[in-house]
Amino acid sequence: MAEPNRWDELIALRDQQRERAANAVQVVRGSELPQENSAFGKLRWYMHPSIENNALSTLMFFEQELAPGSRSGRLKFQGGQVVYVLSGTGYTTVDGVKHTWKAGDVLNLPVRRDGIIVQHVNTGDENAKLLACEPNWFAATGVDRGSGFELIEPASDYRG
């Protein structure tokens, strides 16, 4: 007989996931999360593939803040992201096409086989805050997610 017993491993994994879910964080408090200055911009992560104590790990969810006149990094990724504009005014380019937004708007970034290139720009005189959510495909497809994952240009405020 084959060793190890994959069925028993599957049941053990199930039991581990159940234990994790029973003790997982149900409410993620933004006031307790640090803001990071990354090459994509100022981010606050609520859900991320490496955050393991949340009740769900199937989504990525983060807040992005753009200072007046600043821009995010320019990113190539698969798309499939929804972005809610909490505050501010500006625009997002998707593959070179400009889409203006203001507080209360939702951006629907399309999924494309070869990926999309995205950059957010704050055109207002106050901080812009964006909330972004997308499926966590990393486990199934790897970080490249089938279309590549590359920072093409860093955020204007990044000093890394």
Residue 149 domain flag: yes
Q: Which pLDDT does position 144 carry in this prediction? A: 73
Residue 102 domain flag: yes
Q: Is 142 exposed, middle or buried (0-12, 13-18, 19+ CB in 10 A)?
A: exposed
CATH of the domain at 119: 2.60.120.10
User: How many domains in the chain?
Assistant: 1
Residue 17 domain flag: no
Query: What residues make up the domain containing 68?
Result: 38-153
Residue 109: partners with Cβ closer than 8 Å, 6 or more residues away: 79, 80, 81, 82, 83, 92, 94, 116, 118
**103-143 tens-digit pLDDT:** 999 999 999 989 999 999 999 999 999 999 999 887 667 77
Which regions of the chain are under pLDDT 50? none
